[in-house]
Amino acid sequence: MIRMNNDIEKVLFSQEQLNSRMDEMAARLNEKYAGEEPIVIPVLNGAMIFASDMIKRLTFKLTIDPIKASSYAGTSSTGNVKITQDIKSDVQGRPVIFMEDIIDTGRTLQALTKVMAGRSAKSVEVIAMLDKPETRVVDFHADDYGFKAPNEFLVGYGLDYNGLYRNLPFVGVLKQRVYA
Ligand X SMILES: Nc1nc2[nH]cnc2c(=O)[nH]1
Q: Is residue 104 flagged as an active site residue?
A: yes
Residue 46 interacting with Mg ion (CB under 5 A)? yes
CB of 38 to Mg ion, least distance (A): 20
**Is the Cβ–Cβ distance between 67 and 112 less than 8 Å?**
yes
Residue 172 interacting entry, from ligand X, Mg ion, ligand PRP, none, C-beta within 5 to 8 Å by type: none
Beta pairing class for 123-131 and 144-148:
parallel
The contact set with ligand X (CB under 6 A) reads 102, 104, 132, 153-155, 159-161
How far is the C-alpha of 78 from the C-alpha of 157, rounded, in Å? 29
Q: Which residues of 135-172 are buried (b: 16+ CB within 10 A; e: fewer)?
A: ebeeebebbebbeebeeeebbbbbbeeeeebbebebbb
C-alpha closest to that of 62 among 86, 20, 32: 32
CB of 180 to Mg ion, least distance (A): 25
CB of 140 to ligand PRP, least distance (A): 8
Residue 107 interacting entry, from ligand PRP, ligand X, Mg ion, none, C-beta within 5 to 8 Å by type: ligand PRP
Going by C-beta distance under 8 Å and a sequence separation of 6 or more, which residues neighbour residue 132? 102, 103, 104, 148, 149, 150, 151
Residue 155 interacting entry, from Mg ion, ligand PRP, ligand X, none, C-beta within 5 to 8 Å by type: ligand X
Residue 106 interacting with Mg ion (CB under 5 A)? no
Give the per-residue contact string, 4-43, with ligand PRP (x = CB under 6 A; - = no): ---------------------------------------x
CB of 165 to ligand X, least distance (A): 8
Residue 125 interacting entry, from Mg ion, ligand X, ligand PRP, none, C-beta within 5 to 8 Å by type: none
C-alpha closest to that of 113 among 6, 13, 41, 30: 41
**Is the Cβ–Cβ distance between 57 and 22 less than 8 Å?**
yes
Residues annotated as catalytic (active site), given as ranges: 104
Name the residues that contact ligand PRP, by CB under 6 A: 43, 45-46, 70-71, 100-108, 160
